[in-house]
């Protein structure tokens, strides 16, 4: 097989064949076209590839940070030391005894990792406040509609809204169910059709941008 | 319709991409790009399509960064995206005759997802503090990190172009970014920038399908109210 075929056409052939098999298996439920085992194996192959890809990712990450460390990149290398040390520590304690069950591993998981994770998540409250401050500036008719709708929806969700006036929850719910619901459905229908068209272009090898081709 | 390419409306977000990369070249600051944080195997149908859409636009963006000699940082949340992103960037730079610049001007960074997308978000937030991007382009599927990253991009003064089909993140992008590609627009973005007749034709097909769906919705509504059980007919 020539190199251009291996580089250009083989990935498209693999994507097309596996994609078509998965589609047939999903949509056609006939006993004479039983693809259960093939579908299961394809899903398993995808999981194995994703597993190896994670190892590749960790290696890439390690290479990037070892480079920072060896070059003593200003403002970066000390974080690289910390990252590499923590990655090695996490892998080390994870390998003790039965995979991922040792108390040391659980401590690393429960205290530093969960705490850091929730910290980043909680910072979102401040980002929402700053984004909302800009979004709700009334500069146009659309901005006014947005701000008024937002006030009703916020008062629907906050207990003080119902305490002030019983109409706030009703109007807020109507905004969410009717105009918002209608827009959401239109959005979802359009997105779903777009996703199907995109997937078909990928399956038949027409979407060349994903392989960097023009 | 044979032999005729339908006229496409322009998307402000796509038109702003060269401008934002031009600004990066003028200010000598880098461009950040992410194809989303849902990878190829999300739990919901359409997630992988969003990642493909992100990669398709990356091809266009990386050609422009190669042309303007602007450093490009691509951040990914899944290991399987690394070789794909590297391939897209390498091919784009090669097509601009700058294959030698890939190792010096482009950086594919992996910030893995753990319990949630927080490690990816914190990695990108830290990166923004260090590189101070002039342009932040985010096309793909996103979760809560969408707002965190775009707000940090705003703080850094970057021109921000974002797009997703994730219903709950669109509002954040609209609030925090300069330009937003909404829902299906991300799926046509790659076709529009490529100006490939076949791909543009598929967008026309997409629109025809939308018209059929809308007609079925309206027709179904009328028939159902006239006592014809349209829903049961559709289930067959």
Interface test with A, best of B11, B44, B46 (most A CBs within 10 A): B46
In chain B, what residues touch A191 (CB-CB under 8 Å)? 46, 165, 183-184, 187
- B114 part of contact set with chain A, CB < 8 Å: yes
Answer yes or no: do B109 and B56 share one domain.
yes
> How many domains does chain B fold into?
2
For residue B68 the two structure tokens come to 């303007």
Q: Which B residues in the span 184-213 are in contact with A, Cβ-Cβ below 8 Å?
A: 184-188, 190-191, 193-194, 196, 198-199, 202-203, 205-206, 209-210, 213
Task: Please name which of A155, A142, A153, A148 lies closest in space to residue A177, comparing C-alpha atoms.
Answer: A153
- B112 part of contact set with chain A, CB < 8 Å: yes
pLDDT of residue B37 exceeding 80 = yes
Residue B1 located in a structural domain: no
Residue B115 located in a structural domain: yes
B21-45 CB burial, b ≥16 within 10 A, e <16: bbbbbeeebbbbbbbbbbbbebeee
* Per-residue pLDDT tens over the stretch B113-171: 877 889 999 999 999 999 999 999 999 999 999 999 999 999 999 999 999 999 889 98
Q: Cβ contact (<8 Å) for A61 and B190?
A: no
- B88 part of contact set with chain A, CB < 8 Å: yes
In chain B, what residues touch A189 (CB-CB under 8 Å)? 210, 213
Task: Please name which of B101, B28, B118, B104 lies closest in space to residue B67, comparing C-alpha atoms.
Answer: B101
In chain B, what residues touch A130 (CB-CB under 8 Å)? 151
Question: Dihedral of CA A60/B120/B162/B176: which sign?
Answer: negative
In chain B, what residues touch A133 (CB-CB under 8 Å)? none
Q: If you average pLDDT over residues A5-33, what whole number do you get?
A: 82
Q: In this complex, which of A53, A195, A213 lies closest to B78 when CB atoms are compared? A: A53
CA distance B23 to chain A (A): 23
Answer yes or no: do B142 and B229 share one domain.
no
Q: Cβ contact (<8 Å) for A190 and B56?
A: no
How far, in Å, are A46, A65, A90, B78, B118 from residue A82 at the CA level? Answer: 32, 10, 12, 22, 18
The reported pLDDT for the residue numbered B5 is 73
Mean pLDDT of chain A: 87
Q: By percentage, how much of chain B surpasses pLDDT 90?
A: 63
Residue B112: pLDDT band with limits 50, 70, 90: confident
Token pair 């096309």 is at which residue? B139
Neighbours of B75 (CB within 10 A): 23
Q: What is the 3-state secondary structure (H, E, C) of chain A?
A: CCHHHHHHHHHHHHHHHHHHHHHHHHHCCCHHHCCHHHHHHHHHHHHHHHHHHHHHHHHHHHHHHHHHHHHCCCCCHHHHHHHHHHHHHHHHHHCCCCCCCCHHHHHHHHHHHHHHHHHHHHHHHHHHHHHHHHHCCCCCHHHHHHHHHHHHHHHHHCHHHHHHCCHHHHHHHHHHHCHHHHHHHHHHHHHHHHHHHHHHHHHCCCCHHHHCCC
- A182 part of contact set with chain B, CB < 8 Å: no
In chain A, what residues touch B109 (CB-CB under 8 Å)? 64
Task: Please name which of B30, B112, B16 lies closest in space to residue B69, comparing C-alpha atoms.
Answer: B30
* Per-residue pLDDT tens over the stretch A155-181: 999 999 999 999 999 999 999 999 999
Q: Cβ contact (<8 Å) for B115 and A117?
A: yes
Of the two residues A98 and A67, the one the predictor is more confident about is: A67
Q: If you average pLDDT over residues A12-21, what whole number do you get?
A: 88
Q: If you average pLDDT over residues A41-58, what whole number do you get?
A: 87
Answer yes or no: do B156 and B207 share one domain.
no
Residue B42: pLDDT band with limits 50, 70, 90: low
Question: Dihedral of CA B19/B172/B170/B71: which sign?
Answer: positive
Q: If you average pLDDT over residues B56-61, what whole number do you get?
A: 93
Interface test with B, best of A193, A202, A204, A213 (most B CBs within 10 A): A193
Answer yes or no: do B185 and B73 share one domain.
yes
- A134 part of contact set with chain B, CB < 8 Å: yes
Answer yes or no: do B58 and B150 share one domain.
yes
User: Would you give the DSSP letter of residue B3?
Assistant: T
Tell me the count of A-B CB pairs closer than 8 A: 185
What is the maximal distance between C-alpha atoms in chain A? 76
Q: Cβ contact (<8 Å) for B112 and A57?
A: yes
The reported pLDDT for the residue numbered B45 is 54
Residue B58: pLDDT band with limits 50, 70, 90: very high
Domain carrying residue B227: 198-235
User: Would you give the DSSP letter of residue B138?
Assistant: E
CA distance A103 to chain B (A): 18
For residue B14, what are the contacts with CB-CB under 8 A and spacing of at least 6? B181, B189, B192, B193
What is the domain partition of chain A in residue ranges?
Answer: 136-205
* Per-residue pLDDT tens over the stretch B157-201: 999 999 999 988 998 999 899 999 998 899 988 888 878 788 888
The reported pLDDT for the residue numbered B75 is 96
Q: By percentage, how much of chain A surpasses pLDDT 70?
A: 97
pLDDT of residue A13 exceeding 70 = yes
CA distance B210 to chain A (A): 7
* Per-residue pLDDT tens over the stretch A84-97: 999 999 888 888 88
pLDDT of residue A130 exceeding 80 = yes
In chain A, what residues touch B115 (CB-CB under 8 Å)? 113-114, 117
Contact A210, B89 (CB under 8 A): no
Report the alpha-carbon distance of residue A177 to residue A51 in Å, rounded: 42
Answer yes or no: do B186 and B214 share one domain.
no
The reported pLDDT for the residue numbered B121 is 94
The reported pLDDT for the residue numbered A36 is 75
Q: Where residue B16 sits, what CATH number does that domain have?
A: 3.40.50
B55-68 CB burial, b ≥16 within 10 A, e <16: bbbbbbbbbbbbbb
Answer yes or no: do B123 and B186 share one domain.
yes
Packing angle of the helix pair B167-176, B145-155 (nearest 10 deg): 10
Interface test with A, best of B187, B197, B217 (most A CBs within 10 A): B187
Q: If you average pLDDT over residues A117-121, what whole number do you get?
A: 90
Answer yes or no: do B174 and B207 share one domain.
no
């Amino acid at each position: 097989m020539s190199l251009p075929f291996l580089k250009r056409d083989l990935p498209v052939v693999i994507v097309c064949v596996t994609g078509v098999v998965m589609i047939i298996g999903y949509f056609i439920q006939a006993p004479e076209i039983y693809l259960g085992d093939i579908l299961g194996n394809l899903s398993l192959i995808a999981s194995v590839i994703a597993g190896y890809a994670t190892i590749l990712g960790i290696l890439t990450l390690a290479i990037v940070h070892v480079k920072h460390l060896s070059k003593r990149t200003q403002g970066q290398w000390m974080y690289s030391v910390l990252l590499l040390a923590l990655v090695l520590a996490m892998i080390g304690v994870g390998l003790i005894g039965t995979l991922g069950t040792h108390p040391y591993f659980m401590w690393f998981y429960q205290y530093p990792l969960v705490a850091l994770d929730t910290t980043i998540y909680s910072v979102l409250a401040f980002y929402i406040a700053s984004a909302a401050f800009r979004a709700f500036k009334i500069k146009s008719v659309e901005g006014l509609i947005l701000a008024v709708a937002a006030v009703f929806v916020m008062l629907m969700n906050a207990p003080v809204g119902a305490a002030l006036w019983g109409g706030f929850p009703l109007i807020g719910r109507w905004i969410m169910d009717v105009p918002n619901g209608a827009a959401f459905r239109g959005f979802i229908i359009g997105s779903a059709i777009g996703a199907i068209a995109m997937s078909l272009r990928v399956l038949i090898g027409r979407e060349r941008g994903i392989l960097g081709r023009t | 319709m044979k032999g005729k390419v339908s006229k496409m409306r322009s998307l402000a977000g796509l038109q702003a991409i060269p401008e934002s990369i031009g600004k990066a070249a003028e200010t000598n600051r880098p461009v950040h790009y992410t194809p989303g944080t849902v990878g190829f195997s999300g739990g919901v149908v359409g997630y992988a399509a969003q990642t493909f859409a992100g990669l398709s636009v990356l091809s266009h963006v990386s050609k422009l960064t190669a042309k303007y000699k602007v450093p490009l940082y691509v951040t990914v949340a899944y290991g399987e995206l690394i070789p794909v992103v590297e391939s897209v960037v390498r091919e784009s730079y090669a097509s601009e005759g700058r294959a030698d610049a890939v190792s010096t001007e482009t950086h594919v960074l992996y910030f893995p997802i753990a319990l949630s997308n927080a490690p990816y978000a914190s990695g990108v937030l830290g990166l923004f503090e260090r590189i101070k991007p002039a342009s932040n382009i985010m096309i793909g599927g996103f979760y809560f990190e969408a707002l965190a990253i775009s707000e940090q991009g705003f703080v850094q003064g970057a021109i921000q172009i974002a797009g997703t089909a994730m219903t709950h993140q669109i509002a954040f992008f609209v609030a925090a970014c300069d330009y937003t590609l909404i829902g299906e627009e991300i799926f046509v973005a790659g076709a529009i920038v490529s100006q490939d007749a076949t791909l543009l034709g598929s967008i026309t097909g997409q629109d025809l399908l939308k018209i059929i769906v809308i007609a079925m919705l309206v027709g179904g509504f009328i028939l159902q109210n006239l006592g014809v059980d349209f829903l049961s007919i559709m289930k067959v």
